[in-house]
Amino acid sequence: MNLNLMMRRLKRDIGIYGIALPLKNISLEEYIMEIIEDTTIPVFSIFCPQKDEFTIDLNACSRNQVKKNPRGGRDHCELFIIPDSLLNGRQLNGIMDVEYDDSYLSSPSAPVYCSSNTVDVFGNIMTMNVEKQIMDELINPVSHDFVWPKRLYIYDAIISSHIVCYGLWQHDSNLQTITPYQQESFFQLAILDVEAALYQLMKHYSNGIDSPAGNVPLNIDDWASAKQERKDLIKEWEDTYQVDISSYVFK
């Protein structure tokens, strides 16, 4: 999502494009960006997060044996603290799935037979595919539980120290991680956030603001319902995305 285009569209749709609002020690663009960063992005990321996978070397994590899982059961599990170096300054909101890293499950010393015979080559490929399917059946999938901000519980016997986590991340403040399919939903929330904040700021200027060109009327009444509209939108998203589900994934 292009930040400059979104900012231009916001000001135009709200009706403040080219208008100097009575803001102290901050520009209109900076004021809007503060709202986007501390209000819109965190909430939007709960419902439509950035999805990005990352690999963890469990040997590099702080590790503890746990006799009781965080949900109150009796399952034995291991607790791993995800290193800050993997987060790279980003906020991890959740982990959708955990799998073993396939590249660490195959032995690098396993003999590989090469042949110039095309039939042999295809035969070897078919054999490896069958062996891969058998290995997949023998390997236990990873049941996990993520407890924010960095605790990862693994419930199965761990057969490899390298796992792939499919993370749910907060979007970047430059909005580059928001996909074209998410843009309209993001803008829908952003415009309500900005209108609600502007109403609190400008409700004492119901008669407009004075400028060198004379009095400039503002459509402040149009912003009065933004706070309730935002609550209705969040409720609609809660019903649609069902975000209040457990982070525990059993396989």
pLDDT tens track for 38-94: 999 999 999 999 999 999 998 888 877 665 656 555 466 888 999 999 999 999 999
**Tens digits of per-residue pLDDT, 19-42?**
777 788 899 999 999 999 999 999
Q: What does the pLDDT read at residue 161? A: 83
Residues 140 and 193 in one domain: no
**Tens digits of per-residue pLDDT, 205-216?**
655 565 555 555
Residue 194: which domain range? 1-49+181-251
Please enumerate in sequence order all residues whose Cβ is within 8 A of that of 50, keeping only pairs 6 or more positions apart, or say none.
168, 169, 170, 171, 172, 177, 178
The SS3 call for residue 121 is helix
Q: What does the pLDDT read at residue 132? A: 53
Q: What is the DSSP string of 152-177?
A: EEE-SPP--SEEEEEEEEPPPTT-TT
Residues 224 and 165 in one domain: no
Residues 131 and 152 in one domain: yes
Across the chain, what does the average pLDDT equal? 80
Q: What are 166's two structure tokens?
A: 């499919």
Residues 241 and 190 in one domain: yes
Task: Please enumerate, as own/partner, the contacts of 155-158 that have beta carbons within 8 Å and a separation of 24 or more.
Answer: 155/69, 155/75, 155/76, 155/77, 155/250, 158/58, 158/78
pTM of the model: 0.78
Residues 131 and 238 in one domain: no
Q: Is residue 176 part of a domain?
A: no
Residue that is last in its domain, among 142, 169, 196 = 169
Residues 87 and 144 in one domain: yes
Q: What does the pLDDT read at residue 212? A: 53
pLDDT at 114 over 50: no
Residue owning tokens 């990005």: 52
Q: Is residue 161 part of a domain?
A: yes
Q: Is residue 249 part of a domain?
A: yes
Max CA separation in the chain (angstroms): 88
Residues 132 and 60 in one domain: yes
Angle at 117 between CA 114 and CA 123, to 5 degrees: 70
Count of domains for the chain:
2
220 or 219, which is more confident: 220
The SS3 call for residue 39 is helix
Q: Is residue 33 part of a domain?
A: yes
The confidence band for 116, taking pLDDT boundaries of 50, 70 and 90, is very low
Residues 127 and 67 in one domain: yes
Residue that is last in its domain, among 132, 148, 169 = 169
pLDDT at 143 over 80: yes
132 or 176, which is more confident: 176
For the chain, percent of residues with pLDDT exceeding 70: 70
